Structure 1
């Protein structure tokens, strides 16, 4: 069976109880935000909020108070970059699950992100199958 459909209700965005995984998306690029949002919706994830600034992402995460299953961060977020945002999120919640996405394949940023606890570092273009599979891996 295809890994992206091997979940409850045949939807990779669903938890075992059938409710959708809740995702906070912090992406500054309108094009990247649309691509990520489309992939999330198709797979059955629930986007709880979107932010376009690193500091706003941290504030929003704190307001959502433990209801977020995964955070997707743009490595080049305005205000503070994705790695700085991830560090702030981890200071608040050491168990936060986050993935960084980038328009560039910057190995230094990828290394820094994983050292800070990112579950993955993805570069665009994001193919739906690969993107969703990597999200499912991050949630397991």
Structure 2
């Protein structure tokens, strides 16, 4: 039951990111879509019981690279932004970055601990990514 719920949350996060990409038409939306899609694909592969162990290494590492690129672009938004961000907007970007870093840490935890990843773990990653991207949605819509 929990696995189905987390798979539905992952699918809904992908739908939300596609809507974000269509509405804002920003290149960062493509990176976020790839990040969430990689997490959801990894979850589906684990649920299917795949035997391709290379994906257990490739998908988290590619997600880590995409996450770092997104964090650098968020930092660029803060530092190079034409308009000054208010304290509440800075706090929202900080919360967004923290949720993104938490999702990346949870996704890479099985690699660091040398354990097998579980589909439930990837469902949690999808939910954290959904929270991260929905936090800063209105900031992207303003620019």
- TM tier relative to shorter chain: 0.3 to 0.5
User: Normalising by structure 2, what TM-score?
Assistant: 0.32
Q: Whose radius of gyration is greater, 1 or 2?
A: 2
Higher helix share: 2
Of structures 1 and 2, the one with the larger relative CO (CA 8 A, separation 6+) is 2
Higher strand share: 1
User: Normalising by structure 1, what TM-score?
Assistant: 0.33
